[in-house]
């Protein structure tokens, strides 16, 4: 059954989800790294008898509680809403496989939120030893939320041979741990932990930059310098962890990246390569700013600088998450379900029985669907409606009509014959088709596919330019 689909103009449903996810990643990883930073900093301050540090940490823990407890939690729930809308089929698969995982996640999450609040509200009210213990409990549970969610996130990229072997048989639950500890699990856990630790530094710079460097120069110098050191593990270990991660990613994803790197000279970056470059350059700039501006001149380190570092971290996060998304294309769950919710195993069936036959919008079980009036329409309008449903069901998860990755402009210069060609190429999905690297096969019966051609015609309404080349070669994902 195809669920109804969510049609988001201009940016597409993917970017609604992406936008929320980027904020959530920034805050949730900070919740992990910052959760370790607080008790370790408190411990240092207490051992060295530095009460001025404690004052700073108290303020930082308030900021931390508000940011993670409110913003982190709200964006987390927003992800649920948006994935359910953007890809109900994949969400359903995840829930069926990992409901137990999420149950564990919520337990850790509850403890995490509770201890964060207790930590903040009990400064100076309980013994320092107990306060520290609460801090450590927070750090442990918040890292454990990462341990759990990482299994589910990496599963989507690399479900692993064992799970794929039983997928769709109904006994997926028996291989829960194989799916959970899948091929990219450990490299990704290390990568995310490193990101968390460096975000602790990034956000700590934001609060510590506000200390007055003239009246409290010594305090600011010591705490800014100590915070910058939190970036070191990432810069040493990130390249290694990243190489390991890529090594575990399926061949096709790596190819997409290699292709981009080897053709940089020619100017044809792939999405993945471009995103990785942004991420590497942003990280290098963070390192430079952190060392030259913050570490060398802590007294004059202003909030503006701290916010620039934060902004760069944001860019690096966005780029990395996008690269991960691109590596996964054309799948939403590697080798099992395409980004548009069609299972690899269903392709044959849809080609035989038709795609729209299984679409809820047209099902008798949805009597008030606006699309059911399709029967009473004149032939041409009916074709266009069918074509639109094909577009919404099979293309709209990655393309919009006239915004992000717009089919209107990708098809500009193409006449009907040329559009039919490209659509047929997607439908036949031959081994050597260049589109296989990032697009799923187009499924359906001949009349449905022709309907899509007619609908796509309406999107590139502008007549082909006379000087347009007669034959268009397939472009590599740019
Ligand atoms: C998994 C995501 C995904 C899905 C689903 C998808 N595409 Fe694409 N498509 C892409 C990407 C990525 C590109 C490369 C975009 C670029 O070059 O800017 C692309 C490019 C294209 C192009 C331009 C190709 C060229 O050679 O110029 C066309 C046409 C196209 N898609 C049509 C479709 C149609 C029609 C559908 C639905 C049947 C569809 N796509 C479904 C990801 C997808």
Assess whether pLDDT exceeds 50 at residue 436. yes
Q: How far apart are CA 280 and CA 443, in angstroms?
A: 38
How far is the C-alpha of 404 from the C-alpha of 10, rounded, in Å?
Answer: 6
- Indicate the top mutation candidate among 398, 400, 427, 458 to test ligand 1's pocket, ranked by most ligand atoms within 8 A of CB: 398
pLDDT at 475: 42
Nearest CA, atom 36, ligand 1: 395
Does the pLDDT of residue 316 top 50, yes or no? Answer: yes
Distance 433 CA to ligand 1 centre (A): 13
CA dihedral (387, 388, 389, 394) positive or negative: positive
Ligand 1 neighbour 411 (Cβ under 6 A): yes
- Considering only CA atoms, which residue is closest to atom 9 of ligand 1? 439
Residue 399 Cα to ligand 1 midpoint, Å, equals 7
Tokens 């306060």 appear where?
Answer: 131
Atom 7 in ligand 1: residue holding the nearest Cα: 439
Ligand 1: atom nearest CA of 339 is 1
* pLDDT one-digit tens code per residue, 183-236: 999 999 999 999 999 999 999 999 999 999 999 999 999 999 999 999 999 889
Which pLDDT band, with edges at 50, 70 and 90, does 138 fall under?
A: very high
CA dist 67 → 24, 26, 170, 223, 402 (Å): 11, 10, 41, 21, 36
Between residues 266 and 156, the one the model is more confident about: 156
- What is the C-alpha to C-alpha distance for residues 89 and 441, in angstroms, rounded to an integer? 17
Match 């329409």 to its residue by tokens: 377
Smallest CA-to-CA distance from 230 within 208, 189, 192, 197 is with: 197
Give CA–CA dist 116/135, Å, rounded: 8
Q: pLDDT at position 257, please?
A: 64
| Closest residue by Cα to residue 475 from 221, 263, 279 | 263
On the question of pLDDT at 10 being above 80, the answer is: yes
b/e 223-247 (16+ beta carbons within 10 angstroms → b): bbebbbebbeebeeebeebbeebbe
Question: In the predicted model, is pLDDT for residue 306 greater than 90?
Answer: yes
For tokens 């987390």, name the residue: 76
- Atom 41 of ligand 1: nearest residue by CA position: 395
By most ligand atoms within 8 Å of CB, the mutation choice from 333, 343, 395 for ligand 1 is 395
110 by Cβ neighbours in 10 Å (0-12 / 13-18 / 19+) ranks as exposed
Give yes or no for residue 442 CB within 6 A of ligand 1: yes
**Cβ-contact 394, 424 below 8 angstroms:** no
How far away, in angstroms, is 88 Cα from ligand 1 center? 21
From the alpha carbon of 422, which atom of ligand 1 is closest?
29
Q: Distance between CA 176 and CA 182 in Å, rounded? A: 10
Burial of 183 from C-beta contacts in 10 A (0-12 / 13-18 / 19+): buried
Q: Which residue lies with its CA nearest to atom 42 of ligand 1?
A: 439
Measured from the CB, is residue 478 less than 6 Å from ligand 1? yes
Which band of pLDDT confidence, cut at 50, 70 and 90, is reported for residue 460?
confident
Closest atom of ligand 1 relative to the 426 alpha carbon: 38
User: Band of the pLDDT at 478, cuts 50, 70, 90?
Assistant: very low
Confidence (pLDDT) at 24:
95
Q: Which of 333, 439, 450, 477 to mutate to test the pocket of ligand 1 (most atoms within 8 A of CB)?
A: 439
Ligand 1 site-directed mutation target among 410, 420, 434, 455, most atoms within 8 Å of CB: 410
* Average per-residue pLDDT for the chain: 89
| CA–centroid distance, residue 387 to ligand 1 (Å) | 16
Of 14, 18, 347, 399, the one to substitute when testing ligand 1's pocket (max ligand atoms within 8 A of C-beta) is 399
Give me 283's structure tokens.
Answer: 């990280």
Percentage of residues of the chain with pLDDT beyond 70: 89
Query: Where residue 397 falls among pLDDT bands split at 50, 70, 90?
Result: very high
Cα(216)–Cα(299) distance, rounded to whole angstroms?
8
Closest CA to 256 of 241, 266, 246, 245: 246
């Amino acid at each position: 059954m195809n669920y109804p689909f969510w049609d988001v103009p201009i940016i597409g449903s993917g970017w609604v989800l992406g936008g929320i996810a980027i904020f959530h990643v920034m805050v949730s990883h900070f919740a992990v790294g910052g959760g370790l930073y607080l008790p370790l900093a408190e411990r240092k301050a207490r051992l060295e008898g530095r009460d001025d540090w404690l004052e700073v940490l108290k303020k930082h823990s308030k900021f931390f509680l508000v940011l993670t407890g409110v913003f982190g939690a709200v964006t987390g729930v927003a992800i649920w809403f948006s994935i359910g809308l953007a890809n109900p089929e994949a969400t359903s698969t995840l829930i069926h496989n990992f409901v137990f995982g999420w149950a564990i996640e919520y337990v850790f999450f509850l403890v995490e939120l509770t201890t964060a609040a207790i930590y903040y509200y009990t400064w100076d009210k309980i013994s320092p030893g107990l306060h520290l213990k609460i801090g450590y409990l927070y750090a442990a549970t918040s890292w454990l939320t990462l341990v759990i969610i990482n299994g589910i996130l990496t599963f989507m990229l690399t479900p692993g041979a064992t799970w794929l072997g039983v997928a769709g048989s109904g006994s997926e639950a028996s291989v829960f741990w194989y799916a959970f500890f899948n091929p990219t699990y450990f490299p990704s856990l290390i990568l995310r932990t490193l990101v968390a630790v460096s975000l602790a530094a990034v956000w700590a710079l934001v609060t510590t930059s506000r200390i007055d460097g003239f009246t409290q120069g010594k305090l600011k110098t010591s705490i800014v310098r100590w915070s910058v050191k939190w970036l070191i593990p990432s810069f040493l270990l990130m390249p290694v962890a990243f190489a390991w991660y890529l090594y575990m990613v399926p061949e096709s994803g790596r190819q997409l990246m290699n292709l981009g790197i080897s053709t940089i000279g020619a100017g044809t970056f792939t999405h993945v390569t471009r995103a990785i470059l942004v991420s590497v350059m942003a990280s290098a700039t963070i390192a430079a700013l952190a060392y030259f501006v913050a570490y060398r001149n802590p007294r004059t380190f202003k909030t503006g600088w701290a916010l620039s570092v934060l902004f760069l971290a944001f860019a690096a996060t966005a780029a990395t998450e996008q690269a991960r998304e691109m590596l996964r294309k054309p799948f939403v769950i590697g080798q099992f379900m395409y980004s548009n919710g069609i299972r690899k195993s269903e392709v044959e069936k849809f080609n035989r029985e038709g795609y729209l036959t299984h679409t809820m919008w047209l099902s008798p079980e949805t009597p008030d669907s606006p699309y059911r009036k399709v029967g009473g329409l004149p032939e041409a309008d009916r074709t266009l409606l069918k074509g639109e449903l094909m577009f919404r069901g099979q293309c709209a998860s990655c393309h919009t009509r006239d915004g992000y990755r717009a089919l209107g402009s990708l098809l500009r210069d193409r006449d009907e014959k040329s559009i039919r060609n490209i659509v047929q190429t997607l439908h036949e999905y031959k081994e050597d088709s260049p589109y296989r690297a990032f697009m799923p096969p187009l499924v359906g019966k001949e009349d449905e596919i022709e309907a899509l051609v007619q609908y796509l015609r309406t999107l590139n309404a502008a007549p082909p330019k006379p000087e347009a080349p007669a034959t268009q070669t397939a472009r590599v994902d740019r």
